[in-house]
Structure 1
Amino acid sequence: MSNLAVILYVCLGAALGQTGLFIDLPSLPQLASDFGVDAAATQTTVTAYALGYGASQLVWGPLSDRHGRRPIALAGLWMFITASLLLAVVPGFEPFRLLRVVQGIGAGCGTSVSRAALRDVLSNRELARAMSFASISFALALGFAPFVGGLIGRATSWRVDFLLVAALGLATALYLARALPESLSRELAAAATRPSVAAIGRGYLRLAVDARFLLPSLIATVATGMIALYDAASPFIYETRFGFDAAGFGSLSLGLTVAYIAGALMVVRFVVARGQPWLLRFGLGAMLLGGLLMVGLGLGGWFDTLSLFLPMLVITFGASVLVPIGLAMPMQSFPAQAGQASALTGFLQQEGTGLLVLIATVLPASSQLPLALTLLALALVLGLLVCSYTRLTPA
C-alpha cells in the first residue's frame, strides 16, 4: 500500500469530520426559523454530532482491529453519506437532531480507522509527521467550513450544507474503494482483541491505566481543549466588547488557522531531526509563553484585539506542535491495539475538549484576565503532563 495514499485518507477523514461539525454553524438561525425552535435547541444539534463523533470511536477502532480497516472504514462512510442526505430533506426537528447523532457516528469512523491505518504502515517518527498533515487538514476545515457554510446560507438553504458534505463523503468513499487495499496485517488482526463488549472493555481498561497511552492522550486533549475554550469564549468578547461583526471575527479565526498550520509543518520538518520529546518541550514552551503574555497584558490594563489575539496566535502555534505528537504516541506504543488506541484517544480528545469548553460559559467578558488565567492554568497542567511523559520515554 502506498504510504502517501494512507496519509491522504487520514487527511480526508480529519477534514470530513470537522466539516460535518462546523459547516452549518452560520445557518443555525435559519434552521431555527425553519423548524420553529429556539436558538438553544439548534445548538444541541452540534452537541449531538460531537457526542456521536467522539463516542463512536470506541466501537469503530476495535472493530477495525479485528475485521480490517477497509471494510469498517467503508461502512462508516456510507453511514455518514446516508445520514447527510437524509438531513438535507428531513421535515422535523427531532428526526434532524437524531440524524446528526448518526452522522457524527459515521464521521467518527473515518477519524479512528484512518489513524489506525497510519500505524499499520508507518514507523514511529513517520507517524508523527503524518499526524501533522492530518492536523493541517483539521485546521483548514476548522477555518473554512464555517466560511463556506456562511456563503451557502447567504445564497440558498442550509440544506445544501448537507448535500455538500454528502458529496465530500462520497468522494472519500470512492477514493478509499479505488486506492486503498487493506493495511492491517494478518498477524496484527489475529492478535487483536475480539469485539465482544467484555473484551473491548478490558482492552480499553488496559490502555487507560498505562501511562504510555494516557499521558500523550491527555496532552492532545488539553492542547486541543485550550483552542476550543478560546473559540467558545472569544465571540462574545470580540463581537459584544470590541464591536466586530461575524465576518470580521471569521477573519481572525482564519488567522489562527494559519498559526496552526505553521506549527504542524514544524513537526513535519523537525520530528526526524530533533525527535518527539524535543518538539513536545518546544510546543509546551510556546503555549506557556502565550499564556504568560496574555496574563501580563491583562494585568497591565490591556484589553483589546491585539492583547487577546496575538498571545492566542502563540498558544495555537504551540498546540499544533503538541497535538499530532500526542495523537501519534499512543498508537506507537500499542501497535497490536492501534484501532483501540486511536479510538480511545479520539474519544478522550473530543469529550475532554467538550468538558473544557463548558468553562467558557462562566467566564466574564469584561476583562481578558479570566480567560488568560484559565489558559495559563491549562498550560501549566500541560507542563506536568509533558514533563511526566518525557521522563517516561526520554529517547
Structure 2
Amino acid sequence: MGTIRPPSLFLLAGMAALGPLALNFYVPALPAVAAQFAVTPSAAQWTLTLYFIGISFGQIIHGPLSDAIGRRPVVLGGLALYALASFACYFAATLDLLLVARFIQALGGCVGMVMSRAVLQDVFQRERFASALSTVVMVSAVAPMFAPAVGGFITEWLGWRIVFLLLGGGALVLFGACLQALPETHLNRNPLTLISLVSAYPVAMRHRGFMLNAVAAALFPATNFTIMAAGPFLVVDVLKGTPSTYGAMAMTAPLGFILGNAVARRLLLRVDHRRLMLVAAGVSLAGLSLQLALVALVPLTLVGLFLPLLVVAFGHGLGLACATGLAMAQLPDLRGTASASIGFLQMGIGALASTAGSMVVQHGAVATVLAMLAIQGFDFVLLILGRHLDHGARGEIHSKDNE
C-alpha cells in the first residue's frame, strides 16, 4: 500500500463532483423542463428520480468491476459515457428521450463517486482515509455549491439545454486530466468472472457492522435530496420566485456541508468517530427543528425555508466521512464493492427521499420539513444502534481475552 503514489486529491474531488454536479446544476431547470414539454411537475421530476436510480445501479457495476480490472479503466469508461449522454440530453426532442439520456448520464456520472472512495482506501490507512475523504468531499462540494445558482441563471437567460452542453464539456476535460494524471492504485485484483462480480454483494449485505454504518452514511445527505426535489416548486410556484432565486438560496446547504467537512478534518484524527457522528446527527436534527418552527409558525419566506439548511448541512458534513470510513473499514478486501454498496444505498435512499419530496411538496412546506425530520430521526436511531453494536463487539473481545 505504501509503494503506491497517492493521486491528487483535487483530481479525485473533480471525479467525485461530476455526478452531483448533474443534479445541482440541473435542479433549477425542473419547472422550465415541465413547461417545455407541457407536462406536470411530477412528470418532470422523473428526470431527477431516474438519475438517482441510474447512479445507484451504475455503482453496483463499477465497484466490483474495478476490483477485477482496476480503477483507471473504469474511471475513463465512465467519464466517456457521461460526456456522450450529456450531449444526448442537450439534443433530446421529447421528455422520453431526455429520461433515457439522463439515466445513461447517471450510469457514467457515478463512476467518480465510487472510484474516489476506492482509490483513497487503496492508498491510505483507516485513520488517514477518513481525513483524506473529508478533504475530497469538501473540495468536491464547492462546484455543486455554486451549481444551483449558475444553473438557475443559465436556465433563465440561455435555456435549460445549455446546462447539459456545459456538463458534457466538463466531462471531456476531466477525461483528459485522468488520462494524464490518474495512476492505477489497485494491484491485487480479483478474477473477472460473472460469479465474482455478483457474489461480492451478498458478503457485504451479510456483514451487520458494514450495513449499519453504510445505511447511516447514506441517510446523512438524504434530507438534502428531499428539499432538492421540493425546493424549486416551493420557490417558483408558492413564493413566485425565479429559477435563479432558487439557485442562489440553494447555496446555503452546500456551504454548511463544506464548513462541516472543514471542522471534521480537524477532529477525525483525535475524536471517537461514533461519538462525532451522533453529535453531527443531533446538529442536523436541531437545524430541521428550527426550520419546522419557521415554516409552521410564521408565513413562508425564503429565509425561513433555506437558512436553517446551513445548520442541517453542517451536521451532514461533520458526520458523513466518519460513517463512510467506519463502513469501508469493515470490508478491507472488497474496497470497490464496499464503496459501490455505500454509493448505491446513498443514491437509492436519495431517490426515495427525492420522490417523497415531490409527493409532499403539494401539501406545502410544513409537510416537506416533516418528511426531512423523519429521515434524519431514523438516521439518529441507527447511529445509536451502531454504538451499542460496537460496545457489544468490544465486550465479546474482552471476554475472550480474559479466558
CA shift at 1:59, angstroms? 0.7
Name structure 2 gaps, 5 residues minimum. Answer: 395-403
Check conservation: 1:120, 1:335, Cα contact below 8 A: no
Check conservation: 1:28, 1:42, Cα contact below 8 A: yes
| Structure-2 residue corresponding to 1:11 | 13
Match for 1:172: what amino acid? L
1:337 aligns with 2:334: yes
Looking at structure 2, the residues matched to 166 and 298 of structure 1 have their Cα atoms a distance apart, in angstroms, of 38
Match for 1:55: what amino acid? F
CA RMSD of aligned residues (A): 2.8
| Structure-1 residue corresponding to 2:128 | 126
| Structure-1 residue corresponding to 2:360 | 363
CA shift at 1:20, angstroms? 2.2
Q: Deviations over 1:337-357 (max 9, x none)?
A: 111111111111101111123
The TM-score, its normalising length taken from structure 1, stands at: 0.87
Percent identity between the two aligned chains: 28
1:1-395 correspondence to structure 2 within 5 Å? 1-3=4-6, 5=8, 7-28=9-30, 31=33, 40-91=42-93, 93-186=95-188, 189=189, 192=190, 194-196=192-194, 198-295=195-292, 301-305=297-301, 306-363=303-360, 369-393=366-390
Check conservation: 1:76, 1:106, Cα contact below 8 A: yes
Name structure 1 gaps, 5 residues minimum. Answer: none
CA shift at 1:369, angstroms? 4.5
SS at match of 1:129: helix
Q: 1:365 to 1:31 in 2, by over 3 A?
A: closer
Looking at structure 2, the residues matched to 204 and 55 of structure 1 have their Cα atoms a distance apart, in angstroms, of 13
Looking at structure 1, the residues matched to 232 and 101 of structure 2 have their Cα atoms a distance apart, in angstroms, of 28
Aligned length: 388
CA shift at 1:374, angstroms? 3.4
The TM-score, its normalising length taken from structure 2, stands at: 0.85
Check conservation: 2:273, 2:322, Cα contact below 8 A: yes
Match for 2:147: what amino acid? A
Looking at structure 1, the residues matched to 357 and 26 of structure 2 have their Cα atoms a distance apart, in angstroms, of 21
CA shift at 1:221, angstroms? 1.8
Q: 1:39 to 1:121 in 2, by over 3 A?
A: same
Looking at structure 1, the residues matched to 306 and 34 of structure 2 have their Cα atoms a distance apart, in angstroms, of 31
Q: 1:219 to 1:371 in 2, by over 3 A?
A: same
Looking at structure 1, the residues matched to 291 and 148 of structure 2 have their Cα atoms a distance apart, in angstroms, of 27
Match for 1:71: what amino acid? P
Deviates more, 1:310-319 or 1:63-72: 310-319
Q: 1:359 to 1:110 in 2, by over 3 A?
A: same
SS at match of 2:267: helix
Looking at structure 1, the residues matched to 30 and 224 of structure 2 have their Cα atoms a distance apart, in angstroms, of 22
Looking at structure 2, the residues matched to 59 and 150 of structure 1 have their Cα atoms a distance apart, in angstroms, of 33
Deviates more, 1:26-35 or 1:283-292: 26-35
